[in-house]
Amino acid sequence: MDKNISFTLKVWRQRGPKEKGQFVSYPMTDIPTDTSFLEMLDILNEQLINKGEEPIVFDHDCREGICGMCSLYINGHAHGPATGATTCQLYMRRFKDGDVITVEPWRSAGFPIIRDLMVDRSAYDKIMQAGGYTSVNTGGVPDANSIPISKEKADLAMDAASCIGCGACVAACKNGSAMLFVSAKVSQLALLPQGQVEAARRAKAMIAKMDELGFGNCTNTRACEAECPKCVSISNIARLNREFICAKLKD
């Protein structure tokens, strides 16, 4: 049976990237437990607007766990306490009456704060751009059976491709490493024959761009894997390392 809960929301407020930020507490009363976390923030913003105050800025788009825009750090967890879910898939039934819920933006040199809970995640776009293209024939659609790919390889490639680029791996990592994201994007092509032509260049370019943008190194704490909303495996990081070493040896 649905019920309502009351709690205190501690939200990070920061007017700009160069401004000093601080936590601001907001009492929330009689919030239905079947409300999603983002809907709860909508309720708070409506209350703030009615009072003539500035609403809280946060990223969101699909609200279906697809786009990865809802990048919030909730009670010490990227996307909140739910496993294998984004913030928009988190419901208030996860919390108890009287709780204090702390909400922060991603904390990483690679993701500078724009305002409040919104960060600039364009660094991921730059890494993807560095990865470049794949050489494929652009004509009639080829018969799928004419490209021999084992089911095991296809499944692993699809698992890697499930990464939505939300940045939770960076937020969870003590070093602010983007290795899980980069390894997933490299793996989804490295496992398939279509990605082999540019494989060496891709691995080197994406890692170089990741380092250039200020992301840290991986020290295998597995925090990224634990907080990833799509449960992307760190085995992809091992594959990325192999791809990079092979590329350097070829040089």
Instruction: Indicate the class that CATH gives domain 122-134+148-250.
Output: mainly alpha
Pairing of strands 73-74, 113-115: unpaired
- Rounded Cα distance between 212 and 167, Å, is 17
- Rounded Cα distance between 245 and 81, Å, is 36
* pLDDT tens digits along 24-43: 999 999 999 999 999 999 99
User: What are the sequence ranges of the domains in the chain?
Assistant: 4-115, 122-134+148-250
Least confident of 53-62, 102-111, 139-148, 200-209: 139-148
E-strand ranges in 62-218 read: 73-74, 77-78, 100-104, 113-115, 118-119
* pLDDT tens digits along 44-73: 999 999 999 999 999 999 999 999 999 999
Model pLDDT, residue 25: 98
* pLDDT tier, 83 (very low <50, low <70, confident <90, very high otherwise): very high
Model pLDDT, residue 184: 98
Tokens of residue 202, six digits? 């891709």
Q: What is the mean pLDDT of residues 8-27?
A: 96
Model pLDDT, residue 127: 97
SS (H, E, C) 191-223: CCHHHCCCHHHHHHHHHHHHHHCCCECCCCCCH
* pLDDT tier, 168 (very low <50, low <70, confident <90, very high otherwise): very high
Model pLDDT, residue 144: 65
Model pLDDT, residue 101: 98
* pLDDT tier, 145 (very low <50, low <70, confident <90, very high otherwise): low
* pLDDT tier, 142 (very low <50, low <70, confident <90, very high otherwise): low
Q: Are 239 and 186 in contact (CB under 8 A)?
A: yes
Q: What is the mean pLDDT of residues 168-186?
A: 97
- Alpha-carbon Rg for the chain, nearest whole angstrom, is 20
Q: Are 183 and 236 in contact (CB under 8 A)?
A: yes
Residues 6+ positions from 136 with CB-CB distance below 8 Å? 194
Q: Could you tell me which CATH number the domain at 4-115 has?
A: 3.10.20.30
Model pLDDT, residue 138: 66
